[in-house]
Amino acid sequence: MTENIGVLGKKSARRSGVERVVTAPLPTVYGTFQAIGYLDHDGGDEQVALVHGDLGTEDVLTRLHSECLTGDAFGSQHCECGDQLASALRAVVAAGSGVVVYLRGHEGRGIGLLAKLRAMALQAEGLDTVEANLAQGLPVDARDYGVAAAILRDLGVASVRLMSNNPRKRESLLRHGIQVAEEVPLLIPPCENNITYLRTKRERLDHHLPHLDAVAHWS
């Protein structure tokens, strides 16, 4: 196949960055959103931002939600992801405006679905969520939020009220030029199936989860 050569005799430049592709109304059980679809030319992932109301530019209520098939779609109690997604969507509707950026390619803190399932199997054998990734020779957290920052910039957002318990999200947004005016806790009541996982996130990944103290009696 003949390569595409530009008028100056060079190969055509490969596209990079995030491109807004489509906007569609999305009525949900939480309220009505605009689903804005993006293509990440660098990572190859298709991304979506769910926007409710008039965002403005400052102090926008925002959730960066990492894709979690087991939690978001299947209702897994291994994690709190599905409940966090639902809570974030309810929160932006209650506030009158806000955005949930749903980040595909973040499955299992960036290691992928099959590796995440292997990690879950290892956790069932006694490893914690950090040890399970390392046992596979994988990073503890491989996620990057540069795409999220690019999407927020495309939406005209300069600063956010970030719904998260994870300080690394704040740090990453700041590195990518998005100001964080406030960190808004997104605390989901734990259950016996996820209490060990959540405690590991607090103790080894520095997540702010003070509500776990109320269930200290669970082993």
Active site amino acids: 141, 143
Distances (CA, A) of 88 to 56, 142, 185: 18, 23, 10
Burial (0-12, 13-18, 19+ Cβ within 10 Å), 120: middle
* Cα–Cα distance for residue pair 153/36, rounded to 1 Å: 13
E strands, 30-185, are 32-40, 46-52, 60-66, 98-103, 159-163, 179-184
